[in-house]
Amino acid sequence: MPATVFFECSNPACAFRFPAPPAMLQCPRCGSSLNSVPEASGLAEANPRDEIAHRPLEALLDNIRSTYNVGAMFRTSDGAGVGHLYLTGTSPTPENPRVGKTALGAEFAVPWSWHANGLQAALQVKAQGSQLWALEIGPDSTSVFQAAPEMPGEPLCLVVGNEVSGIDPGILALCDRYVWIPMQGYKRSLNVAIAFGIAVYTLRYAAGVPQCGKI
């Protein structure tokens, strides 16, 4: 039995339509009885698992301040096949229970490590043979959608920075490339977890990322 089903209030003046546990008996708005909505047919319980081999992709989260943003990035990383998260400085770790509020178990699936000094962590990643790409606006920034087809042959580590201060200048100096997400509206930036999700999925799947072994 599904955890929730859709109901519609039997009172035409209310007609409240919402998901709830199957045992729900009365409309929470008006107290009338409920009619269950027939389930959609042919839907899978979960997205099919991608078994295609992809180039290694990691991420460095530099001084992210929000536990909810870090949790969301864990969940996105699990879905996109990010091989490792480097949490640096003030970035909260999965030991903080609030991270799990948005990670929803992904914090146990994605390998991670915490580093007091983000610059030293970035140097370590480069020493391991990875390129560093900064999700940051700068004079030499390229749209991530344009940059994805030009991903390097070696492993890639995407760097995202603090919600207010951005990426540590020392880390930026190490980065091989800056990428950004085009904006059309009044606001000039996205929430860091949303931007991270767009970037990692673009780098993972856009423009036919070459295969090079399982993550």
What residue spans define the domains of the chain? 5-36, 57-205
pLDDT of residue 214 exceeding 60: no
Please tell me the least confidently modeled range out of 54-58, 94-98, 210-214. Answer: 210-214
Average pLDDT taken over every residue of the chain: 88
Element (H, E) at 208: none
Tell me the per-residue pLDDT of 106-144, one tens digit each, with 9 for 90 and over. Answer: 999 999 999 999 999 999 999 999 999 999 987 789 999
What CA–CA distance (Å, rounded) separates 54 from 213?
A: 6
Sign (positive/negative) of CA torsion 203, 206, 212, 215?
positive
C-alpha–C-alpha distance, residues 134 and 147, integer Å = 12
Q: What is the CATH number of domain 57-205?
A: 3.40.1280.10
Return the percentage of the chain with pLDDT > 70, whole number.
Answer: 89
What is the tens place of the pLDDT at every residue in 32-68? 999 999 888 766 555 666 655 567 899 999 999 999 9
